[in-house]
Amino acid sequence: MQSSPPAPAPLIPPLTLEGYKKSVAERIARLSPDVFGEPLPEILKSIVVLDITIDREGRLAQVSVRRSNGYKALENRALESVKRAGPFGVPAFAARARDGSVNFLETFLFRDDGRFRIRSLVEQS
């Protein structure tokens, strides 16, 4: 008689800031029609770095452009993709700042057609 497959591991919320940042990036990517899955091109059209703050309840508290190379439409696409993806999971206590929020930078890598990849989700090689 075959044994049944093991039960999946319980979902454990990201306990570190990097883990939480990756979970936010995964949610943004899952809910955005502008994400591409192909390998990154050798030359990117734009790189947009956003400063993101999420409150203790997982709500987007603030998002702004920290750095860009001037393509306003792509800056707006990155900003809107973050706004559209909220609310996010409640950040683990260990990842929070004193006020209970989580703050981090996230990088959006745009190719010529205006579609993007999120740096936290790009495989490190």
pLDDT band at 123 (very low <50, low <70, confident <90, very high): confident
69: left (phi over 0), alpha (psi -120 to 50) or beta: alpha
Q: What is the pLDDT of residues 28-37, one digit of tens each?
A: 999 999 999 8
| CATH code given to domain 17-121 | 3.30.1150
pTM: 0.85
Q: Is the pLDDT of residue 10 over 50?
A: no
Q: Give the pLDDT confidence of 51-71 residue by residue, as tens digits.
A: 999 999 999 999 999 999 999
Per the prediction, the chain carries an average pLDDT of 89
Write down the pLDDT at residue 9.
Answer: 43
Give residue 113's pLDDT. Answer: 95
What local confidence, expressed as pLDDT, does residue 25 receive?
A: 95
Q: What residues does each domain of the chain span?
A: 17-121
Q: How many CB atoms lie within 10 A of CB 79?
A: 17
Residue 118 vs residues 100, 108, 112: alpha-carbon distances, Å? 25, 5, 15
